[in-house]
Structure 1
Amino acid sequence: MDWQELYKQKLTTPAEAVKVVRSGDTVMVPIFPPATLSPALAARRGELRDVTVRLLAPTGDPGWLRLPDETSFKVEFELYIGDYARYVTDERRGTYLPNLFSFGMKAYDAGRADVRVPDVMFCTVSRPNRAGYVHMGLHQWNQHAYAKRCPVIIAEVNDRLPPVYGDVWLHVSEIDMFVEHTPPAFGKEDFDKALSAVADPARRAAWEQLGAELPTLQPLGALSALIPVIAADDVRRLLGLAEPPPEAEPIGRYLREFVEDGDTIQIGVGEPARGMVRVGAFEGRKHLGIHTELGWPGLAQLWRDGIVDGSRKEIHAGKSIATAWTGCDPNDYEIITDNPHFELYDPDYVLHPRTLLRFDRFIAINNAITVDLLGQINSETVFGGRIINGTGGQPDMHFGGVLSPHGRAITLLPSTAMGGSVSR
């Protein structure tokens, strides 16, 4: 049977696809989840019991984050909680799963009796290519790794997923069910229609300025209904286009002293690290390489401007490597799309000590919330036990920098918080 016929046999509706989920199952729902599958599963709340939904930095709620009890759905967060759902852990609801990206799949692969692979995984994939293979777009994270291990894979096909390179492919035969959903195009006419509902001339002008800065208006499509009620500057920050905070510039000057031509760099998500390109921390450097968990604003522009070429990397020479390009800005995405210089691989490879120790000059650049008088770095909690995000990839990458023969692990943070009233 050819793959086209197999695809047709596996094509179904969201409501039919999620019927495979049974009471007691664990369902993996990735970051930027399929648009149709989560609502379809949430709609079954009256017929399911004790379903665990595993989330990674969710950006929306189809219904399970605010349920009055956990009879139908229990929520657990893996590695990242994210801004949107932090109230769940603040209210002492939901489980947090600490782990390392490098060893995230080890217990499953070892076949440990006390660890169960999620029963069902949701994901978004591209339209199959001529050979019947699909990919997961710019935001792969650990989706590809889970898809190779979970018993049941349900994929939503999105024709707008940008082409990517690396270890990204799955064959139609490896996926159990497909549903099709492509977000509608969002262009100038749609943007102007949304702006017509903005009464305040100053707010409208700010939105027009943001639209002019974007290489395409498509990223605003998902927010179109909110344009009349949210500020353009808030969306600019969300897209990675906001100006760095004032303290980023002096921090960037200090960082510049430690990064040399030919280094391979990693930069963590969050402030102030994400602003280092904007403040010129790498200007004038040559032959830098990139080996990172996630992206940052200006990442691909370093390649465009000739600062990054990866020519001195010990592995993946001439390539920039990540687990996902999440964190880059829309201008970076335009450069990365269908560009073979940029490759994605699974986290258990990218962040594994065996991989990182192959670099002679690996520079890990990450953020912290506080550093105590014993030198212990805290990047996860505030005011005792309030979790802000989680471990993410920082421990893996920092150990890589420390153990690299001529590398460094560099932590960035302002010296104070809360307007200078609290020492960090």
Structure 2
Amino acid sequence: MNWKNTYKDKLTTPAGAVKQIKSGDTVLLAHAAAEPKVLVEAMVENYRAYTDVTVSHMISLGQGRYAKPEMREHFCYVGWFTDPATRASIHQGHGDFTPVYFSQIPGMIRRGVFPVDVFMVMVSPPDEKGVCSVGVSCDYTMEAIRSAKTVIAQINQEMPRVGGDAYVHIDDFDWIVEASHPLPEVFWGQSGEKDMAIGRYCASLIEDGATLQLGMGGIPNAVLAALKKKKHLGIHSEMISDGAIDLIEAGVIDGSEKSIDRGKVVVNFLYGSKKLYDFVDHNPLIELKPADYTNNPLVIMKNSKFVCINSAIEVDLWGQVNAGSMGGKIYSGVGGQVDFIRGAAMSEDGRGIAIIAMRAAAVKKDGRKFSKIVGSLKAGTLVTTSQHDVDYVITEYGIAGLKGKTVKERARLLIAIADPDFREELASDFEARFGENY
């Protein structure tokens, strides 16, 4: 029980912990719902003590006060993925963005490409042996704990204890702060009829015994809702949200036919409501693995009947997918989309499927409707998934299988699943590009 004495020696206040941060340091925050809210707030409150502190992370569910214009002399946000709290700093010029595949982040931390002076993380309380769980975010957390010069842990009584490669002893923390509060929750709401139609089309491509990767949002939940009659599905994904719970409890997702990690739901982070966090707590079915495992195409390819489903902001008639920018500005990032699409293409059983699922059109704040299938991506738009990688594109109007198709064939297929209000315009784009009638 000597670890309890060590624990007491490392115990400090939030204000005391963030004094370990020095001007010029790079501070990495744990991802999404594992962001240590109390430590981040203490760091920002202590802003006068810092100049040129770089703050990095994937998604933040916090306020992102370090990314506000008034903090520019003290903090610089450099994101690997952006969110509503941080993306404006990039657009305003006092923040920055690093393009990177999610699968590569742990290795880049390990090699010092992404140096980490201070890592701040939120974890579960220690067990009788002094071992904590990183709870809802394993992705780059474990490598950051190993590689950071200083690790500050917030012990949160409400952090679920999740297994897999997610355990860390308190010896690996330099400083410990006790601060409990509910984890941030994300609610996707009810899926509309358009999303449900997309879900049904996606489900038509999913066989019994398939292993799935699902992104976040209303469409993945609609896909899950359409899978109730399937059997023996598995999960190998970046994340799961609330939508997976019903299928797991119903036995539809049991992982019994997975070719690797059989019987386990394998993810690198968890992102949802308290219902999800309670479900995964001490649940032996759920295993967290780092992103360089879950998102590694060489691992993904080993999954039999693998199906990955991701979203997009827009797709052009070449089949190029933009999932990371809007109006020539950074909106999110690549995340794991390309990791999984390439892993599916490399499937050892030759049965991997990659789906881009999105509504055919959307509506701007001013009420104007616009097509998400476009003739060409505008100048400054980032290509997330290239025309060489794209496989299936699905909207509420149908399925376009693009793999192996010529540029003319894929353009026709995409126009056929576009919103009817825009098909005539897209047909004109087709005729101007290819010099023949649509």
State the alpha-carbon separation in 1 of the partners of residues 340 and 226 from structure 2. Answer: 20
CA displacement, residues 271-321 of structure 1 (integer Å, 9 cap, x when unaligned) = 4233322xx321210010000001133212211111111011111101110
State the alpha-carbon separation in 1 of the partners of residues 357 and 109 from structure 2. Answer: 34
State the alpha-carbon separation in 2 of the partners of residues 67 and 416 from structure 1. Answer: 34
1:416 paired to 2:361: yes
> In 2 relative to 1, CA 157–423 (structure 1 residues): closer, same or farther, beyond 3 Å?
closer
Give the AA of the match of 1:14: P
Within the candidate set 60, 63, 73, 1:58 is matched to: 60
Query: In the alignment, is the contact (CA less than 8 A) between 2:106 and 2:140 conserved in 1?
Result: no
Give the AA of the match of 1:284: K
Alignment of 1:350-389 (within 5 A): 350-383=294-327, 385-389=328-332
Alignment of 1:66-215 (within 5 A): 66-68=68-70, 70-78=72-80, 80-110=81-111, 115-183=113-181
What is the match of residue 285 of structure 2?
341
> In 2 relative to 1, CA 274–120 (structure 1 residues): closer, same or farther, beyond 3 Å?
same
Q: By how many angstroms is 1:266 displaced?
A: 0.6
Give the AA of the match of 1:132: G
Q: By how many angstroms is 1:60 displaced?
A: 2.8
Q: By how many angstroms is 1:62 displaced?
A: 6.3
1:28 paired to 2:28: yes
Using structure 1 for the length normalisation, give the TM-score: 0.81
State the alpha-carbon separation in 1 of the partners of residues 85 and 71 from structure 2. Answer: 20
State the alpha-carbon separation in 2 of the partners of residues 56 and 170 from structure 1. Answer: 21
1:307 paired to 2:252: yes
What is the match of residue 380 of structure 2?
none
RMSD: 2.0
Give the AA of the match of 1:66: K
What is the match of residue 390 of structure 1?
333
What is the match of residue 268 of structure 1?
215
Q: Which runs of no fewer than 5 residues in structure 1 stay unpaired? A: 184-217, 223-234
1:406 paired to 2:351: yes
Q: Which runs of no fewer than 5 residues in structure 2 stay unpaired? A: 374-438
Secondary structure of the 1:83 match is: coil
Give the AA of the match of 1:415: A
What is the match of residue 191 of structure 2?
244
4+ runs deviating over 6 angstroms:
none
Query: In the alignment, is the contact (CA less than 8 A) between 1:245 and 1:272 conserved in 2?
Result: no
CA displacement, residues 198-232 of structure 1 (integer Å, 9 cap, x when unaligned) = xxxxxxxxxxxxxxxxxxxx67xx7xxxxxxxxxx
What is the match of residue 390 of structure 2?
none
CA displacement, residues 34-68 of structure 1 (integer Å, 9 cap, x when unaligned) = 23212222223222211111133223336422243
CA displacement, residues 242-288 of structure 1 (integer Å, 9 cap, x when unaligned) = 111331121122112100000000111134233322xx321210010
State the alpha-carbon separation in 1 of the partners of residues 122 and 128 from structure 2. Answer: 18
> In 2 relative to 1, CA 66–420 (structure 1 residues): closer, same or farther, beyond 3 Å?
closer
* Identity score, percent: 31
What is the match of residue 198 of structure 1?
none
State the alpha-carbon separation in 1 of the partners of residues 222 and 84 from structure 2. Answer: 19
Give the AA of the match of 1:257: S
Q: By how many angstroms is 1:116 displaced?
A: 4.7
Secondary structure of the 1:360 match is: coil
Give the AA of the match of 1:94: G
Q: Which moved more, 1:93-102 or 1:140-149?
A: 140-149
What is the match of residue 193 of structure 1?
none
State the alpha-carbon separation in 2 of the partners of residues 49 and 86 from structure 1. Answer: 21
State the alpha-carbon separation in 2 of the partners of residues 110 and 141 from structure 1. Answer: 16
CA displacement, residues 354-401 of structure 1 (integer Å, 9 cap, x when unaligned) = 211211211001111111111111111122x22221111111111111
State the alpha-carbon separation in 1 of the partners of residues 274 and 196 from structure 2. Answer: 22
Q: By how many angstroms is 1:141 displaced?
A: 3.5
> In 2 relative to 1, CA 256–61 (structure 1 residues): closer, same or farther, beyond 3 Å?
closer
Using structure 2 for the length normalisation, give the TM-score: 0.79
Secondary structure of the 2:48 match is: coil
What is the match of residue 18 of structure 1?
18
State the alpha-carbon separation in 2 of the partners of residues 288 and 162 from structure 1. Answer: 25
State the alpha-carbon separation in 2 of the partners of residues 253 and 116 from structure 1. Answer: 41
Secondary structure of the 2:153 match is: strand
State the alpha-carbon separation in 1 of the partners of residues 235 and 60 from structure 2. Answer: 27
Comparing both chains, which one has the higher relative contact order based on Cα–Cα distances under 8 Å and sequence gaps of 6 or more? 1
Give the AA of the match of 1:283: K
Query: In the alignment, is the contact (CA less than 8 A) between 2:89 and 2:96 conserved in 1?
Result: no
State the alpha-carbon separation in 2 of the partners of residues 275 and 92 from structure 1. Answer: 38
1:6 paired to 2:6: yes
Q: By how many angstroms is 1:69 displaced?
A: 5.6
> In 2 relative to 1, CA 93–275 (structure 1 residues): closer, same or farther, beyond 3 Å?
farther
Q: Which moved more, 1:262-271 or 1:58-67?
A: 58-67
Query: In the alignment, is the contact (CA less than 8 A) between 1:42 and 1:62 conserved in 2?
Result: no
> In 2 relative to 1, CA 334–47 (structure 1 residues): closer, same or farther, beyond 3 Å?
closer
State the alpha-carbon separation in 1 of the partners of residues 228 and 123 from structure 2. Answer: 37
Give the AA of the match of 1:370: E
State the alpha-carbon separation in 2 of the partners of residues 169 and 401 from structure 1. Answer: 29
What is the match of residue 254 of structure 1?
201
What is the match of residue 225 of structure 1?
none
State the alpha-carbon separation in 2 of the partners of residues 329 and 275 from structure 1. Answer: 17
Give the AA of the match of 1:239: F
Give the AA of the match of 1:287: H
Query: In the alignment, is the contact (CA less than 8 A) between 1:29 and 1:55 conserved in 2?
Result: yes
